[in-house]
Amino acid sequence: MSLLNRAAVFYEPGRPFELIELPVPEARPGGLTLRITRSNVCGSDLHTWRGDGRARRTDPAGSILGHEAVGIVHELGEGVTADWNGQPLAVGDRIAFQYFRPCGNCRNCLRQMPEACTESFKIRFGDRNKWPYARGTYADYIYLHPGQAVFKVPDAVPDALAASANCALSQVIMGLQRVDVTFGDRVVVQGCGGLGIYACAIAKERGAEMVVALDAVQDRLDLARQMGADHTINVSEVTDMHERVGQIKTLTHGFGADVVVEVVGSPAVINEGLRMLGWGGRYLEIGVVFRGEHFECDPGRLVGQNQRIEAVGSYTAACLQKAIGFLDRNMQSLPLDEVLVEYPLEEIGQAFADQDAGRIRRASLVME
């Protein structure tokens, strides 16, 4: 069987994806070649596709997007015998992987902050006509470099769940860890897309006593409840910001939230979220992944009430390890796979359009 490495090239907003064929990258020492089996449409891919903020600066030569994915080991490079849990790794094993690679020796890596590595994302760019060809996962095969964490996925965890481990789920785990969501916390989640419903589940897993989820779409709120939210606020029904802030104050007996998580992906909701915080509260920004936008903020309130804002845009290898463990433990009890709608790679344009229009929650490209 001759191998085909189909890849979907994105040129610019409004222009259809182009399906091309690339060589399959050979595995070099320390790395491995992965056959992608499923790749989701992440919110950040959607921002690029739409041309939001500075994401509108695109490569005229086109680029292969996609990073939230799962795949099967196609070829192991010399010296690769185990995953990052120390489990033996062989051709045919299914793995989740870090889609970036902290360098390990820049100033931030040396200071134990690999998530802030300044070199991390360089492996995602380059000439697609040169090895390792496709750098994004909207392709049949990609190459994983030495230093990209890989973890075998337990057989019981389906691809539909495993595919979001390396972006949405790990990102949420990293974020809630950064703001230290803990036993007894009251947490507000702004937005119930892929990130938001995971935030509800992970906050409960970390011991939150109350999770309140906000969204404009009722079935997303229903799913958030199944994922652990104790209360929901439909912002298309409760349309006044001050009323919503008042509801959070009432639910928290006047104190306000300990943690508010922004996963709407819109700077417009940040001011409201900050107002929902109680004294000493922590605000977690994850959703806005493109630059060039601004939000309103009263710094005196932050100072006066000893609040803090944290932003998280990457994650450590340990978060991916925990993500796989979380799925393995919870796959029976959580309706995680209801989030995805499947498309073949040839219909990538439709997948993006449907997710953009809100006709589906999350698109997932299946590469069989």
Residues that bind Zn ion (CB under 5 A): 42, 44, 68, 102-103, 106, 109, 117, 119, 167
Instruction: Pick the closer one to Zn ion by CB: 144 or 208.
Output: 144
Instruction: Pick the closer one to Zn ion by CB: 272 or 354.
Output: 354
The angle that helices 194-205 and 170-178 make with each other, rounded to 10 degrees, is: 50
148: alpha, beta or left? (left if phi > 0; alpha if psi -120 to 50):
beta
Residue 104 CB, shortest distance to Zn ion, in Å, is: 6
- The two structure tokens encoding residue 14: 């409004």
Give yes or no for a contact between 286 and 171, defined as CB atoms under 8 angstroms apart.
Answer: yes
Instruction: Pick the closer one to Zn ion by CB: 44 or 314.
Output: 44
The angle that helices 348-356 and 43-50 make with each other, rounded to 10 degrees, is: 100
Give yes or no for a contact between 118 and 106, defined as CB atoms under 8 angstroms apart.
Answer: yes
Torsion of CA 125, 127, 133, 136, to 10 degrees: 30
Instruction: State the Cα–Cα distance between residues 79 and 94, nearest whole angstrom.
Output: 19
Please report, for residues 51, 104, 138, 152, 268, the alpha-carbon distance to residue 181 in angstroms, rounded to integers and kept in the order given. Answer: 33, 27, 34, 27, 24
Amino acid at 345: L
Note the residue count of the chain: 368
Instruction: State the Cα–Cα distance between residues 29 and 50, nearest whole angstrom.
Output: 38
Residue 202 CB, shortest distance to Zn ion, in Å, is: 16
Instruction: State the Cα–Cα distance between residues 343 and 351, nearest whole angstrom.
Output: 7
Residue 98 CB, shortest distance to Zn ion, in Å, is: 12
Instruction: State the Cα–Cα distance between residues 147 and 100, nearest whole angstrom.
Output: 9
Instruction: Pick the closer one to Zn ion by CB: 105 or 332.
Output: 105
Amino acid at 356: D
Instruction: Pick the closer one to Zn ion by CB: 43 or 281.
Output: 43
Instruction: Pick the closer one to Zn ion by CB: 120 or 321.
Output: 120
Residue 193 CB, shortest distance to Zn ion, in Å, is: 12
Instruction: Pick the closer one to Zn ion by CB: 117 or 248.
Output: 117
Instruction: Pick the closer one to Zn ion by CB: 42 or 149.
Output: 42
Residue 168 CB, shortest distance to Zn ion, in Å, is: 6
Residue 185 CB, shortest distance to Zn ion, in Å, is: 26
207: alpha, beta or left? (left if phi > 0; alpha if psi -120 to 50):
left
Residue 103 CB, shortest distance to Zn ion, in Å, is: 4
Residue 243 CB, shortest distance to Zn ion, in Å, is: 33
**Bridge partner residues of 363 (DSSP):** 341
DSSP state of 263: -
Strands (E), 94-193: 94-97, 141-144, 150-152, 186-190
Instruction: Pick the closer one to Zn ion by CB: 118 or 239.
Output: 118
Residue 112 CB, shortest distance to Zn ion, in Å, is: 11
